[in-house]
Structure 1
Amino acid sequence: MDDERKKNSEDKNSGVQSIEAGLSVAHVYAEKLEKYNYKKKQRARKLHKHMAEDRAVQKSESNPQSKARQRAQIKKETQRKVQNRSSKEAANQFGDISRKFVDKAEDLTGKFAEYLAEHFEEWSVVFVVLVLILVIGALFSSCGSALTGTSHVGVATSYTSDDDDIYAVEDDYREMEEALQEIIDNVEDVHPGYDEYQYYLDNIGHNPYQLAAVLTVLYEQYKGSVVRATLTEIFERQYYLSFNSVTETRTDDDTGIQYEYKILKVTLVNRTLDNVIRGLGLSADQMARYEVLLETYGNKRYLFEDDIYSIVEPGRYGEYDVPPEALTNTRFSNMIREAEKYLGYPYVWGGSKPSTSFDCSGFVCWVINHSNNGWNVGRTTANGLLGRCTRVSASEAQPGDLIFFKGTYDVKGASHVGIYVGDGMMLHCGNPIQYTSINSNYWRKHFYTYGRINA
């Protein structure tokens, strides 16, 4: 009888030890979380040290690109301070989760121990241990899922590459675009002997956030050396440049003599980066990630926030009434009637019609060509539209004139165009199409000239 009591006592002790082992595992897991948070703080300190060193190097540089990077670095530092605060909050939340997990385990195993004390003799030790393992495993699983889910959301909505690598790849893509622009600028030197050169050109450019988003989806932490082939493929899909030589037989009005008239038609099609990305054959999950990164700007909006074509302008795009006296001009009234149909349409690189939406020159060309004023300027760039205008001074500018800006992105001459509506306002395709004051610091800085349509 004594031997039987001793055996039951040993079995009970084994059951209690199993429960205590479960609690020990829970505490170890919590300790690992605390160590993780400590290491995370150490990495943050190292990051700030590297940032300080980078700023010291940048201050010694004086070229314009370095100054731009300095401004971007200041913005990055501000952004990272915000992110650090968020990280601390996340760390606290992490700690709360681990504490809740331990509390939950202690509470559950405690109650389970009481229940076992009452019914222990009815079950075998092996069965008790098996049940306990399943309980602890379920706790780890549910807590692990919560932690993994929290981490996954942050990764899924963010660019995971270093800022310097994102900038470097963006610069590589822009260099290809600049080389394309140089080819167009030198067409008449490279292809001499034509009587006329006709240009049908979409704008050259892209949304840098879209490029960073798709490369993040494809490569996560990418570098220029890794993605170079992909950049080339995307570029070749986005742009199509063609030359078409046409020879016409014409008759001289004075002499009646026929002669050959040679025309070189230069066409550049920008299929837009977004359309190219959507045609790359990404899976449904990859496309969903791409969309999320666009919505969040990869949680790094500061990277390209000076690019007016990549950031949606805030505000109420239609909240402006053109002065009634300006609408007494029939031609201007016709332009406004057509232009206001598209208020709120998004900016799309290369867009030139309602079905695709517009870029800045595509919008103005469409309005001019469809305003029933007998005008037709075809489809051209902002600088091409300037060539169809007579320049006028600011004091001479009237509603219906075009207003041109330069330096909004890297291109020679005019880079942006809008329709001047008087009273210091323009209607243009920013992002989206909207009325905008031309007296903001940004537009005053980039103002180029006014132009009166000749077409």
Structure 2
Amino acid sequence: MKQYKARDKITLKMSRDGAMEVNETKGTKKRISKRAREAALNRTPEQQAAQDIQALPPTPGSTAPDISPNAPPLPHAPGTEPGQDTGTAERVYEHIDGAHTRKASKKAARKAQAEAEARAHTSRLQFTEEERATPELEKYIKKSDKAADKLDEARAKIPKEKKLVKERTFDEATGKGKTRLHFQEREKPMNGNKAHKNPLSRPAQEAGIFVHNKVHSVEKDNSGVEGAHKSEELAEKGAKYGARKIREGYHSHKLKPYRAAAKAEKAAEKANANYLYQKALHDNPQIAASNPFSRYMQKQRIKKQYAKSVKAQSAKTVKNAAENTRKAAKKTAEGTKKTVAFIGRHPAGVCIAVGALLLFIMVSSALSSCGAMFSGMINGIVGTSYTSEDADLVAVENNYMALETELQREIDNIERDHPGYDEYRYDLDSIGHNPHELASYLTALLQTYTPATAQAEIQRIFELQYTLTLTEEVEVRHRTETRTGTRTVTDPVTGETSTETYEYEVDVAYNYYILNIKLENKPISDLAPGLLTPEQLEMFRVYLETSGNKPLVFGGGSPDTNPSEDLSGVQLVNGTRPGNTAIVDRAKSQVGNVGGQPYWSWYGFNSRVEWCACFVSWCYNQAGKSEPRFAACQSQGIPWFQSHGQWGDRSYTNIAPGDAIFFDWDLDGSADHVGLVIGTDGQRVYTVEGNSGDACKIKSYPLDYRCIKGYGLMNWN
């Protein structure tokens, strides 16, 4: 007969150590909880190790060792020496390491939580079109938006600081890794009102106390000394009080943006809560019909719910940071466990290694500050410089200028290529660009580039920058035409009839064909935000601000490609300042030179550069002047004239032949081009310029031309 056995009775119980599975039939217990034991947090590592040793089952024929505080030390096992690794030592090291790891993990989690809470901001409420169209909610929506705008404005005024961050990238084409540097803007943290210790403050205090004690020892014998000493002590206290108040005021002033941001955040939270309450009233009319106390409690519940949602959003960020910290702490614990075991096995070797490390630190500490300074300087220069070769930068710039020249040629030939129109109407923006904008954009996007690798990108940016539109327009116009007709006339006397010719006018409608030509030029700086990522856009602005640390690679130059003016019939009137007609004649004799090689090679360049400044410097040298000598307009030419007190702004009228005239084509405050003044007739200024369309030309401008930045006034005595 088959025997049936009753199933064991299993129950679950909660204990201090977590969930326990109890077998009532067999009388056994099993811990099934996966959380850490609370005993490990309440006991010291030594106590926990002792408990684990007691919990070990004794081997047959042995008894558990006595590890009470008063028990004698255990003898070493036969064949073992002090310092050897044993099972007990491993467990002690493990529990000590676990305690340290848990402590570090908790500290790191608290720090991550504090940082995440500091970064968490109240978000702006998003309203639907239906909500904005509701009259009852319109006022509260405006208040919420206004409070959010004030909060954004207050946060924007918090001081920022730029940190140079390294980013490691991998080039799949070459198979090499590169390190890029870029600036990351962050909010500058508060210093927590921590005073900076002055190392001389304590010795100064000791010296003052010593002097005062000496005076105290003799002031009882002389009432005059005592009065003077009291006055001096009172003055010292007043000076210290004043200095303390000044420091407090200065610190309070520095914290003003942070206080304003906190105040604006509270106001935004209040406005958002008020809107949510009004929306609840609008969606639930029964709330408005209740008593004032019920409405007040409902408003408080909405405020609490809103605050809870904001806190939950912050807690999500904290949870992610805490999870990352937990993983890092676990990995650190494993490494620490191995390190502790190694130290236990090789204490002498570890002491020797630590001593050698300290000796190395002492020797290299004297050089660390200089090395850090040099490294920071190099990183700053490398991170803000163009990474391409100068020849590639100039070649790509020339390729872009070739596209612009082709566009100008297309516009010049429109009437030839599109004949048959009665009228051509032109609405054209100027053709030209800032070469540093193009180089900064390509460097931020492509890093190091050549004419071949950048060709597709410059074609794309060119098509986005320039838009040429041809539109045909037909107008119906009227004109009067004279026509000839015949008619029969009867002679009243004879009665004979005859035919005569006469003229008459007819109003005729006809089509008048017009071709509208429109050219739009969008600067590269306006196109960059839509083409670059936020990191690339930040680098673009850095390169543009520093000119890639190569301000002379493009120099200046006029984008004008019009022919030279014929000024043979112009009567020039000299001003009161004496000019130099010899240098003017010398400059005019160079009109027609293309490429500027005689001027940039004279200056010392091995290849072509933007040579307008080189041409002006060459003319001054031909006139016997060793100064000024400059190849860059903004960074070299203007500072020379300003430092010698020989600079006149664009409104200066007493200019003379031989003066330098500087231009700012893009009106960004930086000079882009320079030429020589021939003279002025009171309304226009006449110039000779190098690198005007890559040639020497004679030009003229109105005296109030807005692109004139100023004049370098030459002395010829």
**TM (normalized to structure 1)?**
0.45
Structure (1 or 2) with the greater helix fraction: 1
The one of the two structures with greater contact order (alpha-carbon pairs below 8 A, sep at least 6) is 1
Normalised to the residue count of structure 2, the TM-score between the two structures is 0.30
Which protein is bigger by CA-based radius of gyration? 2
